[in-house]
Structure 1
């Protein structure tokens, strides 16, 4: 199945805010506004919850079988984990959100095997997840 180019464009565009925060703090930390970290963290949690929600949509198609039901529960749990991570203090939220994105990657691996193999979508999700994890690590290392 060939995915629309717009899906790839939107996916990679979604990485830009992940890159912008750590880049700003790396290049010109003295000009960074006070709210930057909070906005960045909320964006990361929102994207994690959005990605968790995508499992709901994919699982709905096969909701009658056990894999579909598991996918729907998995979606809800991942969304709650993303929300919970956003409530933590910033330094604790970063590794918690990284953990949520790792779980999202593992869930994507499960989805690829159990629900609907879409190899180009799987590759996109894994590349984007790795990009997010690099940015979270970058921000964590900045202190």
Structure 2
């Protein structure tokens, strides 16, 4: 199976909000609303939780086997790590979420080897993860 084009389009469209927050803060800090960081960080956590859920979904067909059970536990741990990050101030939350996105990529790498691959999925995930990490690093670098 190969990824449909719409999956890539939605993936890249989902990257846009990651970039908008730091761009607004960099280009027009005087016009930045007070709520921007809260909403932006919520979006980061929402996507991290969604990605943990997608790993969970990939594991469901294999949940009777050892790899499937391990994958379900990994997905749950990633979801809990995301939830933990939401209770932290901005800078520590960004660091925890960045680690979460890296761990999700590692989990998808493992999943591809343990349960088989979907053509193009890991490449898309890796590319989008780099974009997410760039946006999060950008936001981290301009925070006080």
**What TM-score bracket applies, with the shorter chain setting the length?**
over 0.9
Q: CA deviation at 1:55?
A: 1.0
Structure 1 runs of 4+ off > 2 angstroms? none
Q: CA deviation at 1:116?
A: 2.1
Q: CA deviation at 1:118?
A: 2.0
- The equivalent of 1:101 in structure 2 is 101
Question: Which whole-Å CA distance do the structure 1 matches of 2:2 and 2:50 have between them?
Answer: 22
Question: Which whole-Å CA distance do the structure 1 matches of 2:129 and 2:109 have between them?
Answer: 12
- The equivalent of 1:115 in structure 2 is 115
* Residue segments in structure 2 that go unaligned for 5+ positions in a row: none
- The equivalent of 2:39 in structure 1 is 39
Alignment check: 8 A CA contact 2:3 2:119 kept: no
* Residue segments in structure 1 that go unaligned for 5+ positions in a row: none
Q: CA deviation at 1:105?
A: 0.9
Question: Which whole-Å CA distance do the structure 1 matches of 2:27 and 2:80 have between them?
Answer: 34
Question: Which whole-Å CA distance do the structure 2 matches of 1:91 and 1:55 have between them?
Answer: 26
Question: What does the per-residue CA deviation read over 1:43-66, in whole Å, with 9 as the maximum and x for residues that have no partner?
Answer: 000100100011111100111100
Q: Paired residues, what number?
A: 143
